[in-house]
A and B are shown apart, each in its own frame.
Chain A
Amino acid sequence: MSNTTSATPSAPLRRTRGFAGAVSPWWILLAGAFLVFFFVAPIANNLLNTDNLATLAERNPPSFYYKKLLTDAYYLKIVGVTVALSVGVTLICVLVGYPVALYLVRYAGRWSGLVIFLLIAPLLTSIIMRTFGWRVIFARRGILNDFLLSIDMLERPIMFLNGPGSVVVGLVHVLVPFMVLSIASVLRSIDPQIEESARILGANRFQTFLRVTFPLSLDGIGTGFIIVFLLANGSFVTLLLLGGGELRTLPLLIYQQFTISRDFQFAAAMSNVLLAIAVGCLYLQLRLIRRKGVKG
């Protein structure tokens, strides 16, 4: 990820044998203690103490909620939709983002500064702004319908909003820059001479890409996949404003439990299931890295 500033980006942090500068190992304590107390403890508390949460709804033992989430067909479908939506959005991000990363690293040349700026700039706009833009495009009397009507592709406006399509487009729009930056940082570290050698040995441009460049960039796709999956997994603003509540996922349900039904015990159980999905994804990432380590 942090490819531009450091000379050996993905190399593990090594304790330098030599001079330690003015730095003391104790300096770790403030941030360490802060995160243990305000990050680890709350999540652990949420995992263990679902029972004592103040709630405005009827009280039940925690197992009641987990059973409901994981056996009731309605809620099981929501868990499934949460995972499926994240995976789908992530795969589309790979397809859409890869050519951009390739252009940025191999062809942009003096334009690369501009391309990076244009990629980072949307990250600085609020997610509400971007979602608002898509609502204008997808609205019943919106830009897309107007356009399709004017070229006679449609006879009457289609309801694009409040469906899976608009949600997926909105999420890809928000998340694709992260994928591009992850892939680009790995592509940048591939020695162009390797590709040159393949060309000299008789591979055409397409073969070179398929058998040399692409396999070498899988690492970046992996990193991007994890980042985008985790972000997609936790997002609810896009679902709320573009999905119109039609497409239900765990984060959206947590939001609704919190603001409308105020059943905090149930929300806590959902939040723990969401946490389990995230941890599972991170575990897969670790496994992937280890296997690659054995191979390489």
Chain B
Amino acid sequence: MNWLPYSVSSRLPRLSLVAYMVAFFVFLLGPIFIVVAISFTTTEFVAFPPKGFTWRWYERFFDYEPFVNSFIVSVELAVATALLGGFIGIPAALAVVRGRVPFADSIMTFLLSPLSMPLIVIGFSLLFFLSALGLGVSFLSLLIAHTVISVPYIVRTVAGVYRSISPDYEETAAVLGANRIQIFFYITLPMIKPGIFAGMLFAMLISIDNLPISFFFGSYETNTLPVVMLSYLEHQFDPSVAAASSIQLVVAVIGLFIVERIYGLDAMAPAT
């Protein structure tokens, strides 16, 4: 690289890396922008670049009953999953980190193991198992299935935060005369709140986007939004799916924005 002035050649690796980063994010975000743009097209068909500007595909979303019903199911399911997952996952995470549980390492591996199984396998096996128990295709079955896959995310974020907090605070409180319940509610819980918050939000996002499990439990009352979108896409290819995707994106971005405002994005990192 002698033909280049030193000031440029010394920066060349860095400059090419920056150029690569720009290309990478065009690749990563391009398809998403395209879908958002398409949702405003005035044409009857999917067109890019979009022609004109209209809200009609969003109106179509709210007029088309399966979309609206499944959207409500998805949101209810996401909230219920985060609550149930938190209720069973948070105590487990705390116990593994500081509860003097025997074989804590192995138990942690077990709690995270649903992450390593193909989702379609979990969904398929659970459908037949729950049917044999008489639960079959129902909201409760969906809730159980989604909780299985969201427990690892909650455990991982909560354990990550709790591990980074020194036990000294709890010990000090004990020395000063607090009992276990007081320690838990006044010391432990406030300190692990970022982990709880991020873990439960992540559980909701995982649940809202899930398709490989949800489609096994599909029925008129239990179809989630992704299931309806998939079957819509298999038959039609019009901009209303782009509108539905954009609505889902806005919901997720608002969630991410709230986390960033309250605790910073780093709190999310362990979950990913």
Contact = CB atoms under 8 A, between A and B. Distances in A.
B95 A28 contact: yes
Contact of A127 (B29, B156, B211, B260): B211
Interface string B12-25: 01100110110011
Contacts of B131: 54
Interface in A158-191: 173, 176-178, 181, 185
A74 interface: no
Interface stretch (A58-66, A193-201, A274-282): A274-282
Is chain A's interface secondary structure helix, strand, loop, or mixed overall? helix
B95 A255 contact: no
B17 A103 contact: yes
Interface string B51-74: 000000000000000000000000
A46 B124 contact: yes
B253 A173 contact: no
A30 B216 contact: no
B272 A278 contact: no
A24 interface: yes
B42 interface: no
A31 B89 contact: yes
A45 interface: yes
B83 interface: no
Interface stretch (A11-19, A148-156, A211-219): A11-19
Contact of B48 (A8, A99, A143, A235): A143
A157 interface: no
Interface string A13-52: 1111011111111111011101100110111011000000
B31 A173 contact: yes
Interface in B225-271: 226, 229-230, 233-234, 237, 241-242, 245-246, 248-249, 252-253, 255-256, 260, 265-270
Given A32-B92, A116-B265, A125-B248, A23 B188 contact: yes
Contacts of B167: 16, 18-21
Contacts of B98: 16, 20-21, 23
A42 B163 contact: no
A233 B171 CA distance: 46
A278 B118 contact: yes
A96 interface: yes
Interface in A77-105: 96, 99-100, 102-103
14 contacts: A1-B270, A22-B183, A35-B151, A42-B129, A96-B24, A107-B17, A124-B209, A125-B245, A173-B31, A177-B28, A178-B272, A255-B120, A275-B118, A282-B116
Interface of A: 1-9, 12-16, 18-28, 30-32, 34-35, 38-39, 41-43, 45-46, 53-54, 96, 99-100, 102-103, 107, 113, 115-130, 132-137, 142-143, 173, 176-178, 181, 185, 205, 226, 230, 233-237, 240-241, 251, 254-255, 258, 264, 267-268, 271-272, 274-275, 278, 282
